[in-house]
Structures are given as structure tokens and as C-alpha cells.
């Protein structure tokens, strides 16, 4: 190796290291060479279209998506001892979304670039060509359908776009032979889709993290790495504000209300975004409530009524028995009590009011179902008890001492409780002195002064006055 070649090689490697970051260029440790990752410039709204066997069981399908970034073209190179004075770099070119035929055409053009600049360093020119001119050179337009090899070999019948390429704007085209230096680094169409989507998402996130955004909650300007955006609407808020917002909603049980704070925006945070911001214990609550709310929408799912279990149980059609898969508790899916066969469901005194109201408001079909579930006798009892309760509330008052309900049929407003014998005033419900119960009505300072006979009929009033 001449000193001029050695110096030129070292200068070129140092220049590449200063121009590109570690993602773009890595120098080899043992030889004069390295690896460059070239990110091809894409136009706006560049679409990838894939059709064919998209799954492992070879089911045909179609996939289409718009991307901002594609996985890089990888150029591995090594300098021979007489580069750049005599020989070009030894290299391989690999890509996930370019076919072997397309990569072979690029390899051929890199050789031509070397021939045009023989005796000078060429790597930077190669990298600029791959970055800026790959799509135009290969006549790739949107939507683009990448082709892959079948079991590592190029298909025998190659489409026209894989064989013919316009060369530097020339009108003529020529068939290109496959180049051993060209490697398509992908296994299948399904893995290609995943790799494209994952890479595009990762690069978008990098760009987002490096920009500044204004949070419309705290009105502070922050780096994208301190912010989060909603997938559907792309509205951006800082993570600190969203964390507080999510935590409040989850603690209140509003797991379906983690919407974008922008007014009238329907976008909802994904579970992954929620998990990133809230604590583990709170996310477990969110996850549980989200699952429960989803199960609640399923008509054939009930929950084990045991407080220590609460396991979801699938309900068989036309059957009122549920058996918990976890604790093996057999229960009635209607009343949630121990399964009672064909016997009617028991209803507690506390639920009689609800049962009566439900029955009175129900249509004929629902009334029939309630009678079958609880029995006509229980329904009738609920109705009678509610009528009795309503009558008592309207026509009686509780004793101020023992709370026994007292009905006033006639007589004056000085009452005697039939249960505890306490004297009390029917008007103000105050307790009266046992020694002088009528003093309450003769005292000018009393609210019931001269109202002993208030509310009595005229005939009764005269008789009462005579008795007094």
C-alpha cells in the first residue's frame, strides 16, 4: 500500500465519521472498511402496496400503507490496498424492500460511478446517489409494490420493472444480470410489512422527540421526548399533564373517558400510552375496568357473585344456572343467590320497592317474566306492602320518643303513644309533660298556643270544649 493510498483511505474514513452519526456509518475495527446505512429520500405520501401470500399459511391478501421512512440500504465495504489509485472498494449492497434485481442494478451503477472517478475516493458519491437518486434510477413511484425472493432465490419470471431500468435518463434500457453483491435481507412478505411499519414508527418517533411543542394544558413549550400525541388526531400534550389527567379519570373509574383534551376531539389514548404514563397499580385498575366494561356489554357474561371471586362466567342460553370456573360456586344468574332450581327467586325486603316499581312500569311480557321469576304471590305481596307503606306515610306520624307510627282518628291534638304511653303534640310532634300535658297549648310562648282543637270538625270542637 502506497502512503498516498493509505492517507486517502484514512482521510475518507475520518470524513465519513464526521459527516454521519453512528446510525449512518460504523467503521470496522480490524480492516480498512465499515458499514454505511443509507436512508433513501421519500416523497410525501409515499405508499407501500403489498399483495400475495401475507401469512404463514399462504392466504392471499392485500396491504397498503403510507410511510415517511423505509428501512435503510446497507452498504458494507472494504478498501483494497491500492484504493483509490487503482482498485475500487469491495462491497455488498443489502436491503429489505428492494429486490435482488433492483439491488444488482444499483451495484452496476456504483461500478460506473467508480469508473467515472477512478483514482479518487468514491464512497461519499455512492452514498449520495443511493440516498437521493435510488427511486428515480429504478423508476420507483407511489404506490410501490416490493418484490421478494422465494426461498432465497429470485423468481424465474421477473416482472418488467425488475428487469428493465432507465439508465441515467437514457431512452434505451437493458436487462441486468443478478449480482452476487446484491442481497435482499427479508424472509417473507409478512415479515417485510412488520419491518417497514416498525421502522417507520421508530423514525417518526425520533423526529417527534427532537422537536419542540406547546402543551395547551400547562401552556409550556417542551421537547417532543417530554410529550405525547394521540394517534388519530396527532394533538400533542406534555406527559406530565396527561399523567395527571389519566390518573384522575382512572381513579374515578372513567376508563372510557381518556380522550384527547382538545375540545370535541374523539381521539382516545391507547392502552400502551396509558401504561407508559401511569403507575403499575393504577394501570392494573385501568386494565381490569376496561375488561369488565367490555364484558358488561356481552349479554351472555355474568360475574360470580362471591365478593372474593367476581370471575366472569359464560351464561348458557335458556339456563339460569351459572358455575364459576374458579371457585366452582353454582348460582342463579338472575338473583345471584345459590342456585335454587325451578323454585322462584327470593327477594329481600330492601328490594321489594325496586321490584314493585319495575313491575308497575313493565310491559306485559316483562310482567310475565317477573311473575315466573319471583312468583305471583311475591309480586302481590310487594304491591300490598308498598300500598300499606304509602298509606301509613300519608296518614300517620312517628312517636317522637319510640318512633311507633300513630294514626289520629279524632279528638284533640294532645296524643298518647299506644306503645310507650308518651304524651306528644300532633301539630309540632314535641313531647309533652306528663304532669301538665295541656300546658303546651295554654302557654303564649308555645308554637301551638290555643291550637289544642285545631283541625277538628265543628261538632267535635264543641263537644271537646265542653269536655275540657
* Residue 102 to residue 154: CA distance in whole angstroms: 11
> Is the separation of the CB atoms in 369 and 358 below 8 Å?
no
Same domain, yes or no: 147 and 264: no
What is the mean pLDDT of the segment spanning 312-316?
A: 82
Look at residues 343, 367, 395 and tell me which one is the last residue of a structural domain: 395
Q: Which positions ≥6 away from 165 have C-beta within 8 Å?
A: 102, 105, 137, 138, 139, 173, 176
* Residue 211 to residue 155: CA distance in whole angstroms: 44
With CA atoms as reference, report the closest residue to 107 among 138, 142, 149, 86: 138
Q: Which residues pair with 74 in a beta bridge?
A: 37, 94
DSSP H or E segment with residue 133: helix 123-137
- The predicted structure's pLDDT at residue 55: 52
- Name the CA radius of gyration of the chain, rounded: 43
Q: Which positions ≥6 away from 295 have C-beta within 8 Å?
A: 301, 303, 312
> Dihedral, CA atoms, 99, 104, 109, 110, nearest 10 degrees?
100
Is 371 within the bounds of a domain?
A: yes
Band of the pLDDT at 370, cuts 50, 70, 90?
confident
Look at residues 200, 228, 249 and tell me which one is the last residue of a structural domain: 200
Same domain, yes or no: 156 and 192: yes
Same domain, yes or no: 284 and 180: no
With CA atoms as reference, report the closest residue to 375 among 338, 316, 335: 335
Give the pTM: 0.55
Cell of 239: 406527559
Residue 42 to residues 166, 203, 296: CA-CA distances in angstroms?
A: 19, 13, 47
Same domain, yes or no: 78 and 12: yes
Q: What are phi and psi of 322, to 5 degrees?
A: -120, 140
Is 316 within the bounds of a domain?
A: no
Same domain, yes or no: 40 and 129: yes
Band of the pLDDT at 460, cuts 50, 70, 90?
very low
Selected catalytic residue, list 304, 412, 417, 425: 412
Is 248 within the bounds of a domain?
A: yes
Residue 463 above 70 pLDDT? no
Is 327 within the bounds of a domain?
A: no
Same domain, yes or no: 411 and 275: no
Same domain, yes or no: 437 and 411: yes
Band of the pLDDT at 149, cuts 50, 70, 90?
low
- The predicted structure's pLDDT at residue 353: 67
The DSSP 8-state label assigned to residue 137 in this structure reads H
Same domain, yes or no: 43 and 187: yes
Q: Domain count for the chain, please give it.
A: 4
Provide the 3-class DSSP secondary structure of residue 36: strand
Same domain, yes or no: 173 and 242: no
- The predicted structure's pLDDT at residue 433: 84
Provide the CATH number for the domain around residue 95.
Answer: 3.10.110.10
Is 239 within the bounds of a domain?
A: yes
**What would the pLDDT profile of 207-218 be if each residue is shown by its tens digit?**
999 999 999 999
Same domain, yes or no: 168 and 79: yes
What is the percent of the chain with per-residue pLDDT over 90, rounded to a whole number? 36
The least confident of 69-78, 197-206, 319-328 is: 319-328
Residue 412 is among the residues annotated as catalytic for this protein: yes
Up-side HSE of residue 280: CA atoms within 13 Å toward CB?
0
What is the percent of the chain with per-residue pLDDT over 70, rounded to a whole number? 85
Look at residues 200, 233, 259 and tell me which one is the last residue of a structural domain: 200
Provide the CATH number for the domain around residue 277.
Answer: 3.30.40.10
Same domain, yes or no: 103 and 62: yes
Same domain, yes or no: 107 and 252: no
Is 206 within the bounds of a domain?
A: no
Is 344 within the bounds of a domain?
A: no
Residue 226 above 50 pLDDT? yes
Domain that holds residue 372: 355-395
**What would the pLDDT profile of 323-363 be if each residue is shown by its tens digit?**
898 898 889 887 788 888 877 777 665 666 677 777 777 88
Is 301 within the bounds of a domain?
A: no
Up-side HSE of residue 457: CA atoms within 13 Å toward CB?
4
Amino acid at each position: 500500500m502506497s502512503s498516498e493510498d493509505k492517507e486517502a483511505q484514512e482521510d475518507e474514513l475520518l470524513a465519513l465519521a464526521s459527516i454521519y452519526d453512528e446510525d449512518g456509518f460504523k467503521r470496522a475495527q480490524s480492516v480498512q472498511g465499515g458499514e454505511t446505512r443509507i436512508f433513501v429520500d421519500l416523497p410525501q405520501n409515499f405508499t407501500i402496496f403489498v399483495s400475495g401470500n401475507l401469512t404463514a399459511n399462504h392466504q392471499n391478501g392485500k396491504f397498503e400503507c403510507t410511510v415517511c421512512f423505509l428501512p435503510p440500504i446497507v452498504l458494507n465495504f472494504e478498501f483494497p490496498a491500492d484504493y483509490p489509485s487503482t482498485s475500487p472498494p469491495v462491497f455488498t449492497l443489502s436491503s429489505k424492500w428492494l429486490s435482488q434485481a433492483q439491488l444488482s442494478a444499483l451495484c452496476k451503477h456504483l461500478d460506473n460511478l467508480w469508473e467515472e472517478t477512478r483514482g479518487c475516493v468514491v464512497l461519499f458519491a455512492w452514498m449520495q446517489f443511493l440516498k437521493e437518486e435510488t427511486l428515480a434510477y429504478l423508476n420507483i413511484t407511489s404506490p410501490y409494490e416490493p418484490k421478494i425472493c422465494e426461498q432465497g432465490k429470485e423468481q424465474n419470471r421477473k416482472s418488467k420493472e425488475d428487469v428493465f431500468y432507465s439508465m441515467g435518463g437514457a431512452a434505451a434500457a437493458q436487462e441486468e444480470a443478478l449480482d452476487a453483491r446484491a442481497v435482499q435481507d427479508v424472509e417473507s412478505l409478512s415479515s417485510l410489512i412488520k419491518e417497514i411499519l416498525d421502522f417507520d414508527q421508530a423514525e417518526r418517533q425520533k423526529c417527534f422527540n427532537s422537536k419542540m411543542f406547546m402543551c395547551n394544558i400547562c401552556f409550556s413549550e417542551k421537547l417532543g421526548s417530554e410529550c405525547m400525541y394521540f394517534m388519530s388526531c396527532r394533538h400533542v400534550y406534555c406527559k406530565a399533564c396527561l399523567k395527571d389527567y389519566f390518573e384522575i379519570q382512572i381513579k374515578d373509574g372513567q376508563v372510557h373517558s381518556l380522550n384527547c383534551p382538545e375540545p370535541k376531539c374523539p381521539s382516545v389514548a391507547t392502552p400502551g400510552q396509558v401504561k407508559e404514563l401511569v403507575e403499575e397499580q393504577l394501570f392494573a385498575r385501568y386494565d381490569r375496568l376496561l375488561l369488565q366494561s367490555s364484558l358488561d356489554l356481552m349479554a351472555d357474561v355474568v360475574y360470580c357473585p362471591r365478593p372474593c371471586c367476581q370471575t366472569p362466567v359464560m351464561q348458557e342460553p335458556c339456563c339460569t344456572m351459572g358455575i364459576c370456573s374458579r371457585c366452582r360456586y353454582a348460582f342463579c344468574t338472575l338473583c345471584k343467590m345459590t342456585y335454587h332450581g325451578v323454585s322462584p327467586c327470593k327477594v329481600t325486603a330492601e328490594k321489594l320497592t325496586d321490584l314493585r316499581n319495575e313491575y308497575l312500569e313493565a310491559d306485559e311480557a316483562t310482567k310475565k317474566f317477573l311473575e315466573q321469576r319471583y312468583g305471583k304471590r311475591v309480586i302481590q305481596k310487594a304491591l300490598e306492602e308498598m300500598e300499606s307503606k304509602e298509606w301509613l306515610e300519608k296518614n300517620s306520624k312517628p312517636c317522637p320518643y319510640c318512633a311507633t307510627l300513630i294514626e289520629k282518628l279524632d279528638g284533640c291534638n294532645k296524643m298518647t303513644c299506644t306503645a310507650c304511653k308518651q304524651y306528644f303534640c300532633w301539630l309540632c310532634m314535641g313531647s309533652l309533660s306528663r304532669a301538665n300535658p295541656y300546658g303546651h297549648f295554654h302557654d303564649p310562648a308555645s308554637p301551638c298556643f290555643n291550637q289544642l282543637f285545631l283541625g277538628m270538625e265543628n261538632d267535635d270542637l264543641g263537644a271537646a270544649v265542653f269536655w275540657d
